Amino acid sequence: MHYLTEKGFLGNKGRLIMDERLLIIIPAFNEELKIGTIINKTRDMFPDIDILLVNDSSTDKTPIIAKDKGVRVISHPFNLGYGCALQTGYKYAVAANYDYVVQMDADGQHDPQFIKRLVDELLKDEADLILGSRYLDVESYKVSLPRKMGVVVFSEIILWITGKKITDPTSGFQAMNRKVVDLYVSEYFPVDYPDADIIIFLLRKGMRIKEIPVRMYANNNKSMHSGLKPIYYIIKMFLVIFIGLLRYKKED
Amino acid sequence: MAINYRIISIVVSLLFTGLILLFVKKECLNEKLAIFWLSLGIIMFLAAVFFDSLIYISLLLGIIDPNNLIFFGGIIFLLCFCLIVSVKISEFKDKIKILAQENAILKFEVSEIKKH
């Protein structure tokens, strides 16, 4: 059993908590070049925290490297997508009864040293979900103009629907408490790329979301924002948000 | 209608119905879908035998050529069927996703238990 104490996370209202547990979830698909460094860095900084690598059926050595480093590895039987890999992690967190979850990408975009800031912020209990925003941090890499425009549009949509300003809805660097994890394991969680739709869903369910600046690094080998994918993605986002609005209205 | 065309239509509809029965016998097709396809086979057969009534129906609908009624009906039917199949595929995809996730988690938990 690993606890949140000693290594210096702040507890509720500044006090240390004795019996609460934290899980770091890293979804990974073919990241053999980077995964070792990420795990080492995270381990060095938080030796007592459980790390779970969700291997989305990688065809390279990713799961072997992770197992050698001694982290928990859950492997999908076939490729299910980034969102699914995250959700498997949440489902495990619920099954193993963790109180807090941090999620971080395996591709080197996120710097593990910011985990502490995310968790410290979360443990103040002023928000249920802490988003690491690259746009609040001046030194983060500059994203391409079309991408930036997309983010601004979805940011405005969230503001318009929920009245809350979120600068980086695509951020995969998050810390959350159990209330959010319990919502993330629901069927509404998107299988490919979680985005503005899930943020709107959380806000409508009354979750408190706070953003803090984190440093993110450019990642050149991702295929997500190339070819026709951004177009598919933007159309999908509008559709999902629209359908989402109809859905929640029915439930309310 | 030319007698050849009528004979071909009747033979095709009978073959179609026979194929469905064969699939049901071999258990390739579940009962729910079998009933659906069988009724289509019967409709095809009836349309081939009583072609004159098709002419009557198309005139009622304002369609001059009864063949157009068949094409129109066929396309609508296939479209609806494709839609239903898409819905089913989405459903299965969701179910497979849940199964795969649970299977992955259980596998991990079993390996943890075996370690101790």
Q: Do A77 and B102 touch (CB under 8 A)?
A: no
pLDDT for the residue numbered A14: 40
Q: What is the mean pLDDT of residues A77-88?
A: 94
Q: Which of B101, B108, B109 sits opposite A87 (nearest CB)?
A: B101
Strand runs (DSSP E) across chain A, as ranges? Answer: 22-28, 50-55, 72-75, 100-103, 129-133, 174-177, 209-213
Segment among A19-33, A89-103, A167-181, A210-224 with least mean pLDDT: A210-224
Q: What is the mean pLDDT of residues B80-95?
A: 93
Identify the CA nearest to A28 among candidates A71, A72, A80, A85: A85
Judge contact between A78 and B100, C-beta under 8 A.
yes
Does residue A3 have a pLDDT over 90?
no
Q: Which of B100, B101, B108 sits opposite A72 (nearest CB)?
A: B108
Q: Per-residue confidence at A12, pLDDT binned at 50, 70, 90?
A: very low
Taking the Cβ of residue B106 and every Cβ of chain A, the question of whether any pair is shorter than 8 Å is answered with: no
Q: How many beta-carbon contacts under 8 Å exist across A and B? A: 36
ipTM (interface predicted TM): 0.82
Q: Please list, in sequence order, all residues whose beta carbon lies within 8 angstroms of the beta carbon of residue A37, skipping any fewer than 6 positions away.
A: A108
pLDDT for the residue numbered A225: 54
Task: Please report where in the chains the tokens 């938990």 appear, as a residue.
Answer: B109
Q: Per-residue confidence at A129, pLDDT binned at 50, 70, 90?
A: very high
Taking the Cβ of residue A187 and every Cβ of chain B, the question of whether any pair is shorter than 8 Å is answered with: yes
Residue B2 identity (one-letter amino acid): A
How high does pLDDT run on average in chain A? 84
pLDDT for the residue numbered A249: 59
Q: Which of residues A131 and A154 earns the better pLDDT score?
A: A131
Q: Do A76 and B97 touch (CB under 8 A)?
A: no
A56 to chain B nearest CA, in Å?
10
pLDDT for the residue numbered B36: 85
pLDDT for the residue numbered A5: 47
Judge contact between A40 and A34, C-beta under 8 A.
no
Chain A hits for B97, CB-CB cut-off 8 Å, are: 80, 84, 191
Q: Do A74 and B97 touch (CB under 8 A)?
A: no
Judge contact between A213 and A122, C-beta under 8 A.
no
Note the pTM of the prediction, 2 decimals.
0.82
Q: Per-residue confidence at A45, pLDDT binned at 50, 70, 90?
A: confident
pLDDT for the residue numbered A179: 94
pLDDT tens digits, B12-59: 999 999 999 899 888 888 888 888 888 888 988 998 888 888 888 888
Q: Per-residue confidence at A194, pLDDT binned at 50, 70, 90?
A: confident
Identify the CA nearest to A24 among candidates A109, A78, A86: A86
pLDDT for the residue numbered A1: 36
B80 to chain A nearest CA, in Å?
22
Q: Do A77 and B108 touch (CB under 8 A)?
A: no
Taking the Cβ of residue A87 and every Cβ of chain B, the question of whether any pair is shorter than 8 Å is answered with: yes
Q: Do B101 and A88 touch (CB under 8 A)?
A: yes
Q: What CA–CA distance (Å, rounded) separates B38 from A94? A: 47
Q: Which of A84, A91, A187 sits opposite B105 (nearest CB)?
A: A91
pLDDT for the residue numbered A16: 39
Does residue A10 have a pLDDT over 60?
no
Main-chain dihedrals φ then ψ at residue A166, nearest 5 degrees: -120, 120
Q: What is the mean pLDDT of residues A191-219?
A: 87
